[in-house]
Chain A
Amino acid sequence: MPEPEKTEKAASTRPETKPKIGVFVCECGGNISGKVRVQDVATFAKTLPDVEVAEYNFSMCSSVGVDLIKKAIEEKGIDRTVVCSCSKAQHGPTFARAIEEAGLNKHMHEQVNIREWDSWVTKGKNEATEKAKKSLEAGVNRSRKLEPVETRQIPVTKAALVIGGGIAGCRAAMDMANLGVPVHLVEQLPTIGGHMTQLFKTFPTNECPQCSISPLTNGVANNKNITLYTNANIKNVEGSIGKFIVDIEIKPRYVESNCTSCGKCSENCPVEVPSEWDSGMTYRKAIYKPFPQAIPATYIRDKNACIECNTCINVCPVDAVNFKQKKQEVRLEVGTIVVAIGYDEYDPAEIEAYHYGDPGFENVITQLKLERMMTPVSITGGEILRPSDGNVPKKIVMIQCVGSRNDQVGNKYCTGVCCMFALKNAQIIKDKHPEMDITICYIDIRTPGLQYEEFYKRAQQLGVRFIRGRPSEIARDPATGQLHVITEDTLSMTPVKLAADMVVLSAAMVPPKTIGTLGSKLHVLRSAEGFIKEYHIKMNPTSSSKGGIFIAGAIQGPKDITQSVAQAGSAAALAAAPLVKGYIEKDMLVPVIDEALCVHCNSCVAVCPVSAISKSEDGKFVVNDVACKSCGLCMPACPTAAIQLKNFRDDQIHDEIVALTEKPREGGHVHG
């Protein structure tokens, strides 16, 4: 604790008129009054010095309650308020706004939490009431030294960055562009569209996803407000909301943009490697376009696969192939960022008992591979053929929850979309081949929502067999190569051994591998599962932990296309709002430095996480009001209490703590 004379000195810079405090206690419709005798608390408040008004109400956040506060300000002339109700995060802003409307500075409001911290967690009524009184007294003590804080408008850079060009990223980019915001869309792959372009059909309407997404991807490519960077990575991110400086690196395509997409280079290229976009189900050339509708349509050369035979250079009619192309670095300045980097399909090889990828188990594939097999452009021409020998499988077994709901691999969560895509693929096969025997082994079938349960019903009607049981193993007879799925039908409690010509694994959605490095660059919190954590799971599922950075789609957690699109719209609206308005509002709740006490030790500079404190030319330490995040870390670091955060000054906190630590006294207060 600082010496008394020091705190007085710090306090002396503030107005010393006698405060007039209004206290309002909330019943919260029984949430509080069920435990706390609010009338007693209000009566107690009246005994505290400087308290001019003390009232209680059924619901302070209602218009009646808010009017009570406004009336007290207008009629009784109170200059600060203490509301005893819920947490500061819950309704602090409601009351701050109310006093602002009545003409006071919004920082003259003090919130006392007697719900989450008291009535909900305290046993007896007496105990809860005493606790409420103490908390109230602490709040009143604190409020005496509250000071007005200015709210400043800070201009923003009118441009946004979208990271990830899948369905969520494209949607967010398009929505912001339509609001007139210039958007930079950065995609690490050579083409936009993401996982959705890989799918054969989308549930529950079995539509063609390529047809659904291409108006959007075309729109993104042709929108004047959108600058597209494919084959590009985020190198560095600096700054905060309103002004982020982002460095991106564009890897060379080795094909110039005058490429007419005629495909001659690819036709003549002698090198074939498995196609990433086709989940390895077909081959592509070393110079290639990932898929016919790819955007941008410019071809790309895979430098690692290329044998540099120069054929492509020779056959290109417009001389677009250029092996000498270099990587480019671009620096962008944007006001907000939307992260939409999607997901990876879980690699089932981790579950050894399923032998995915093992020799002899070629007929064990994932749903994404099945999707690729079923498309008309696939290696099988859209026919369902088992990979080992190209024969038509008679018996297909699908296994659900591969990598989901599985403690052993560390994924407790339900991916939530696998039931639907398995049902969809099973139906597509059944429609085409009614004679094929399809079994889905599941833990629970989860198809909530409109048209989804109906979708499940339709699969049942088509004759898809359902066995409730998670298979323990996919076994292979070494003599015949026949696969068997070993499971238990838990409804009839019988062990089952299912012969399978092909096994399809419904693999989970997991955070993409690239999130590790990108997450650190963005300084956003992540969930235990590795996805980017939302600000509030109910009320703000679209903001990240860092101001100005928003999340859309599966990077927040597994989602289907519908949900991803909806969240992308929300992210776009939130990210565009300050850019369209032109400024953000920031409370200047910043520290002030008492030059007389400062010993120039540099401690505050060292601890400030956003580098908001620096030494000026005349040797004084100055605070950058805009960069400051009001975290308060500088205060305990200061050895002389020279740096004091407004409204969180040492003496204010001291006054507050004193009320909480002294023994309760009937009708008394501890501060003279």
Chain B
Amino acid sequence: MVKEKTFAFFLGCIAPNRYPQIEKATKFVMEKIGYKLLDMEQASCCPAPGVFKSFDKYDWMVAAARNLVIAERLDADLVTICNGCFGTLQDVNKHLKEDPNAKEYVNARLKELGDYEFKGTITVRHAAEVLAFEIGPEGIAPFITRKLNARAAIHYGCHFLKPTRIRGLDSAEKPTMLENFATILGIESLDFENKYTCCGAGGGIKAAHAVPSMKIFAEKMMDIDKVKPDFILDICPFCHLQFETGQDYLNKNDACKYDYPVLHLSQVVAWCMGMDQEFVGLQYQQMGRDYIFTEREVA
């Protein structure tokens, strides 16, 4: 049995390097609700599910298994704040638990890296799913000190719900998890066209084919722009990066005038639990720096 109310906190790459405010907000929220987050020393890239898996599935499994072993040693379930990390680590963790041949192969390769052995003792979690599903709207209510008066375009991203047979969290076509949770935070979730499509970043597209990536993103933004949200609410630093840099790109290249703030669920929950706006860190982001969080009057 793993330690209760304790998580090995897997940061991934983008959050610590580009958006430390998401990491800070997550720690703030988790501690408020009574979870302890342990640092995973020497953790590497997850590695990214689109790029690495497509090139070499076995190398991808070995690198992911190494990260999983670090969490196993801490005797705690692993929590991520990123859809990509969630996808890779949960896929590999489940696969190695179910396939003894794969496990044997990976463990043989892990030995070359040092004293690593995958045992299959932990589960892989996503902070958004811990908050929105396990704790849930009712569970979070006592910890909320203020509600946010805002209308948001919620973006689930791809790896959080798909493949549904592995995730087993919610429908990938008509999920309700984040919308239900946002409501308790005071946020009105807006319905917009193509809500569940990709942001255009994943699968290595952003790095390898910037123009198609921006084409996909431009369509996404057009649909979001139609409903004029106060901000875009995501649960993945890579989507976060796409929404940030993508708006900037479209403003510079396609004569758009987007300035929608982009917020990770952890950032919003942290504010609702009393974290000052300056620590939420919008001022360090590219878009919507002038946005001011306002409290919703409770009737």
Alpha-carbon distance between A473 and B173 when the two chains are bound, in angstroms = 9
On chain A, the residues within 8 Å of B174 by CB distance are 352, 355, 358
Question: Separation in Å of the B209 CB from the closest CB of chain A?
Answer: 15
CB <8 Å contact, B171 and A478? no
On chain B, the residues within 8 Å of A353 by CB distance are 173
> Does A104 count as interface, using CB distance less than 8 angstroms?
no
Interface 1/0s, chain A 460-497, versus B by CB < 8 A?
A: 00000000000001011111000000000000000000
CB <8 Å contact, A475 and B194? yes
Question: Separation in Å of the A479 CB from the closest CB of chain B?
Answer: 6
Give A302-361 interface residues, CB cut-off 8 Å to B.
Answer: 352-353, 355, 358
Question: Separation in Å of the B203 CB from the closest CB of chain A?
Answer: 16
Question: Separation in Å of the B28 CB from the closest CB of chain A?
Answer: 34
| Closest Cβ neighbor of B223 among chain A residues | A477
Question: Separation in Å of the A403 CB from the closest CB of chain B?
Answer: 16
Question: Separation in Å of the A484 CB from the closest CB of chain B?
Answer: 8
Alpha-carbon distance between A70 and B227 when the two chains are bound, in angstroms = 90
On chain B, the residues within 8 Å of A355 by CB distance are 173-174
Alpha-carbon distance between A358 and B173 when the two chains are bound, in angstroms = 12
CB <8 Å contact, B192 and A352? no
Report which of B171, B172, B173, B193 forms a contact with A477, defined as CB distance below 8 A: B193
Report which of A358, A473, A478 forms a contact with B192, defined as CB distance below 8 A: A478
Question: Separation in Å of the B80 CB from the closest CB of chain A?
Answer: 26
> Does B39 count as interface, using CB distance less than 8 angstroms?
no
On chain A, the residues within 8 Å of B173 by CB distance are 352-353, 355, 473
> Does B191 count as interface, using CB distance less than 8 angstroms?
yes
> Does B257 count as interface, using CB distance less than 8 angstroms?
no
Alpha-carbon distance between A473 and B172 when the two chains are bound, in angstroms = 12
Report which of B171, B191, B226, B227 forms a contact with A352, defined as CB distance below 8 A: B171
Give B188-228 interface residues, CB cut-off 8 Å to A.
Answer: 191-194, 226-227
On chain A, the residues within 8 Å of B226 by CB distance are 479
Alpha-carbon distance between A355 and B192 when the two chains are bound, in angstroms = 16
Alpha-carbon distance between A598 and B141 when the two chains are bound, in angstroms = 76
On chain A, the residues within 8 Å of B172 by CB distance are 352
Alpha-carbon distance between A356 and B191 when the two chains are bound, in angstroms = 18
Alpha-carbon distance between A271 and B22 when the two chains are bound, in angstroms = 59
Question: Separation in Å of the A498 CB from the closest CB of chain B?
Answer: 14
CB <8 Å contact, B171 and A475? no
| Closest Cβ neighbor of A353 among chain B residues | B173
On chain A, the residues within 8 Å of B193 by CB distance are 475-479
Count A-side interface residues using an 8 Å CB cutoff. Answer: 10
Alpha-carbon distance between A352 and B172 when the two chains are bound, in angstroms = 8
On chain B, the residues within 8 Å of A478 by CB distance are 191-193, 227
| Closest Cβ neighbor of B174 among chain A residues | A352
Interface 1/0s, chain B 223-251, versus A by CB < 8 A?
A: 00011000000000000000000000000
Alpha-carbon distance between A358 and B191 when the two chains are bound, in angstroms = 15
Task: Tell me if B's interface is mostly helix, strand, loop or mixed.
Answer: loop
Give chain B's interface residue range (CB within 8 Å of chain A): 10 to 19
| Closest Cβ neighbor of A484 among chain B residues | B193
Question: Separation in Å of the A357 CB from the closest CB of chain B?
Answer: 11
Question: Separation in Å of the A642 CB from the closest CB of chain B?
Answer: 47
Question: Separation in Å of the A347 CB from the closest CB of chain B?
Answer: 15
Interface 1/0s, chain B 165-177, versus A by CB < 8 A?
A: 0000001111000
Alpha-carbon distance between A601 and B192 when the two chains are bound, in angstroms = 74
| Closest Cβ neighbor of A482 among chain B residues | B193
On chain B, the residues within 8 Å of A479 by CB distance are 193, 226-227
Alpha-carbon distance between A355 and B174 when the two chains are bound, in angstroms = 9
| Closest Cβ neighbor of B190 among chain A residues | A478
Alpha-carbon distance between A475 and B195 when the two chains are bound, in angstroms = 10
Alpha-carbon distance between A358 and B171 when the two chains are bound, in angstroms = 14
Question: Separation in Å of the A274 CB from the closest CB of chain B?
Answer: 24
Alpha-carbon distance between A475 and B192 when the two chains are bound, in angstroms = 10
Alpha-carbon distance between A129 and B173 when the two chains are bound, in angstroms = 61
On chain B, the residues within 8 Å of A473 by CB distance are 173
Question: Separation in Å of the A513 CB from the closest CB of chain B?
Answer: 24
On chain A, the residues within 8 Å of B171 by CB distance are 352
On chain A, the residues within 8 Å of B227 by CB distance are 478-479
Alpha-carbon distance between A557 and B172 when the two chains are bound, in angstroms = 32
Alpha-carbon distance between A522 and B227 when the two chains are bound, in angstroms = 59
Q: Which of B174, B192, B193 has the most CB of A within 10 A?
A: B193
| Closest Cβ neighbor of A352 among chain B residues | B173
Give B118-142 interface residues, CB cut-off 8 Å to A.
Answer: none
On chain B, the residues within 8 Å of A475 by CB distance are 193-194
| Closest Cβ neighbor of B165 among chain A residues | A408
Q: Which of A353, A355, A358 has the most CB of B within 10 A?
A: A353
Question: Separation in Å of the B167 CB from the closest CB of chain A?
Answer: 14
Alpha-carbon distance between A613 and B194 when the two chains are bound, in angstroms = 68
Alpha-carbon distance between A476 and B191 when the two chains are bound, in angstroms = 10
Interface 1/0s, chain B 102-123, versus A by CB < 8 A?
A: 0000000000000000000000
Alpha-carbon distance between A353 and B191 when the two chains are bound, in angstroms = 16
| Closest Cβ neighbor of B195 among chain A residues | A478
Interface 1/0s, chain A 93-134, versus B by CB < 8 A?
A: 000000000000000000000000000000000000000000
Alpha-carbon distance between A478 and B190 when the two chains are bound, in angstroms = 9
Alpha-carbon distance between A355 and B171 when the two chains are bound, in angstroms = 12
| Closest Cβ neighbor of A486 among chain B residues | B194
Give B146-172 interface residues, CB cut-off 8 Å to A.
Answer: 171-172
Q: Which of B171, B173, B174, B227 has the most CB of A within 10 A?
A: B173
Question: Separation in Å of the B160 CB from the closest CB of chain A?
Answer: 16
| Closest Cβ neighbor of B172 among chain A residues | A352
Alpha-carbon distance between A355 and B172 when the two chains are bound, in angstroms = 12
Question: Separation in Å of the A406 CB from the closest CB of chain B?
Answer: 15
| Closest Cβ neighbor of B164 among chain A residues | A352
| Closest Cβ neighbor of B193 among chain A residues | A477
Alpha-carbon distance between A477 and B193 when the two chains are bound, in angstroms = 5
| Closest Cβ neighbor of B194 among chain A residues | A475
Question: Separation in Å of the A268 CB from the closest CB of chain B?
Answer: 43
Question: Separation in Å of the A475 CB from the closest CB of chain B?
Answer: 6
On chain B, the residues within 8 Å of A477 by CB distance are 193
Give B83-109 interface residues, CB cut-off 8 Å to A.
Answer: none
Alpha-carbon distance between A53 and B66 when the two chains are bound, in angstroms = 74
Question: Separation in Å of the A389 CB from the closest CB of chain B?
Answer: 20
Alpha-carbon distance between A353 and B194 when the two chains are bound, in angstroms = 11
Question: Separation in Å of the B213 CB from the closest CB of chain A?
Answer: 15
Question: Separation in Å of the B151 CB from the closest CB of chain A?
Answer: 13
Alpha-carbon distance between A475 and B173 when the two chains are bound, in angstroms = 10
Alpha-carbon distance between A475 and B172 when the two chains are bound, in angstroms = 14
Alpha-carbon distance between A175 and B194 when the two chains are bound, in angstroms = 56
Question: Separation in Å of the A359 CB from the closest CB of chain B?
Answer: 10
| Closest Cβ neighbor of A476 among chain B residues | B193
Alpha-carbon distance between A140 and B22 when the two chains are bound, in angstroms = 83
Alpha-carbon distance between A35 and B192 when the two chains are bound, in angstroms = 69
On chain B, the residues within 8 Å of A476 by CB distance are 193
| Closest Cβ neighbor of A477 among chain B residues | B193
On chain A, the residues within 8 Å of B192 by CB distance are 478
Closest 3 A/B residue pairs (Cβ)? A352-B173, A478-B191, A477-B193
Beyond the given pairs A478-B191, A478-B227, A479-B227, 8 more chain A to chain B contacts, judged by CB atoms under 8 angstroms and listed by A's residue number, are: A352-B171, A352-B173, A355-B174, A358-B174, A476-B193, A478-B192, A478-B193, A479-B193
Which residues of B does A touch, CB under 8 Å? 171-174, 191-194, 226-227
- Interface pairs (19), CB distance under 8 Å: A352-B172, A352-B173, A352-B174, A353-B173, A355-B173, A355-B174, A358-B174, A473-B173, A475-B193, A475-B194, A476-B193, A477-B193, A478-B191, A478-B192, A478-B193, A478-B227, A479-B193, A479-B226, A479-B227
